[in-house]
């Protein structure tokens, strides 16, 4: 097997952020980095996409620059702009440009939420060119071999113009993320919070129950992240049912009937 270059040598695993692998995603990511390929992570909110990227950046010994997209995110926000400072006009790199100069991993979270001009700006980074053009400075910035573009989105709730076009998706290699199985999820809760395994088991069963209740019409279901938050509160001494209400039930819905239905489920299972 071809060895990773020096920039990609894994660090001491004892110092890495906690991440529980559920498949071959680590191996795929390392091969993508080695071959200078951009990666798209698909999956529901709270399924571990952001933690995975943080883990891989530390594993490869690379800086990480993260951008959380929303409907107002524009190409200028990512590329950079001229600013007035005193009597001078200076250029300030945006996170995309800065990450390229650093040779970092650029993580564009919820890329489908950004404006279309953002996709146009990053397209040259997703093919053989691996560069961007700053028209306001008349400058081309080429990415070093260590640079990697990683994007994520949740195809479960994207609608209309926010859906990624096939032509954009095909510029990335893609990995599907989902909620882990019960055993792995229990391990995650224990490792992240130190909660009793009996409580971790109850929380995981609660999460699975909520995920299967499609009749509630939840936009987002109970993520592993929410279960971790509830476990942290329980570990610090908050009563389990109250912890589940504020960390799981209330974040999932504002509808009174839905909230009450979720609270009833918590009362039955916790």
pLDDT of residue 13: 58
pLDDT of residue 156: 63
- H-type alpha helices, 82-196: 95-102, 116-122, 166-169, 182-193
The distance from CA 155 to its chain's CA centroid, rounded to whole angstroms, is: 13
Model-level pTM greater than 0.85?
no
Phi/psi region, residue 10 (left: phi>0; alpha: psi -120 to 50; beta: rest), is beta
Residues β-bridged to residue 108: 67, 151
HSE-CB at 210 with a 13 A cutoff on CA atoms is 34
**Residue 148 parent element (H or E):** strand 148-153
Q: Which residues of 225-248 are buried (b: 16+ CB within 10 A; e: fewer)?
A: bbbbbbbbbbbeebebeebbbebb
Residue at token pair 């020096």:
6
pLDDT of residue 162: 61
- Residue-by-residue pLDDT tens, the chain, 270 positions: 333 444 444 555 567 889 988 889 999 999 999 999 999 999 888 889 999 999 999 999 999 999 988 888 888 989 998 888 888 888 899 999 999 999 999 999 988 888 888 888 888 999 889 999 898 888 899 999 999 999 998 876 544 446 777 888 889 999 999 989 999 999 999 999 999 999 999 999 999 999 998 888 888 889 999 999 999 999 999 999 999 999 999 999 999 999 999 999 999 999
């Amino acid at each position: 097997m071809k060895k990773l270059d020096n920039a990609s040598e894994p660090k001491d695993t004892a110092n890495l952020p906690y991440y529980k692998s559920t498949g071959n995603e680590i191996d795929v990511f390392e091969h993508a980095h080695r071959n200078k390929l951009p990666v798209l992570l698909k999956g529901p909110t709270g399924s571990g996409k952001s933690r995975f990227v943080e883990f891989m950046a530390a594993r490869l010994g690379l800086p990480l620059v993260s951008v959380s997209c929303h409907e107002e995110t524009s190409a200028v926000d990512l590329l950079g702009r001229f600013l007035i400072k005193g009597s001078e006009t200076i250029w300030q790199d945006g996170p995309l440009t800065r990450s390229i100069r650093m040779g970092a991993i650029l993580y564009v979270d919820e890329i489908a939420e950004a404006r279309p001009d953002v996709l146009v700006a990053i397209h040259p980074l997703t093919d053989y060119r691996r560069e961007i053009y700053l028209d306001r400075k008349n400058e081309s910035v080429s990415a070093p071999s260590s640079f990697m573009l990683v994007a994520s989105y949740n195809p479960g709730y994207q609608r209309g113009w926010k859906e990624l076009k096939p032509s954009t998706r095909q510029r990335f290699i893609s990995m599907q993320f989902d909620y882990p199985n019960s055993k792995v999820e229990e391990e995650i809760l224990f490792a992240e919070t130190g909660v009793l395994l009996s409580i971790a088991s109850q929380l995981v069963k609660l999460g699975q129950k909520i995920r299967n209740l499609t009749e509630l019409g939840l936009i987002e279901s109970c993520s592993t992240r929410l279960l971790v938050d509830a476990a942290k509160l329980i570990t610090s001494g908050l009563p389990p049912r109250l912890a589940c209400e504020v960390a799981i039930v209330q974040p999932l819905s504002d509808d009174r009937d839905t909230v009450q239905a979720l609270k009833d489920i918590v009362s039955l299972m916790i």
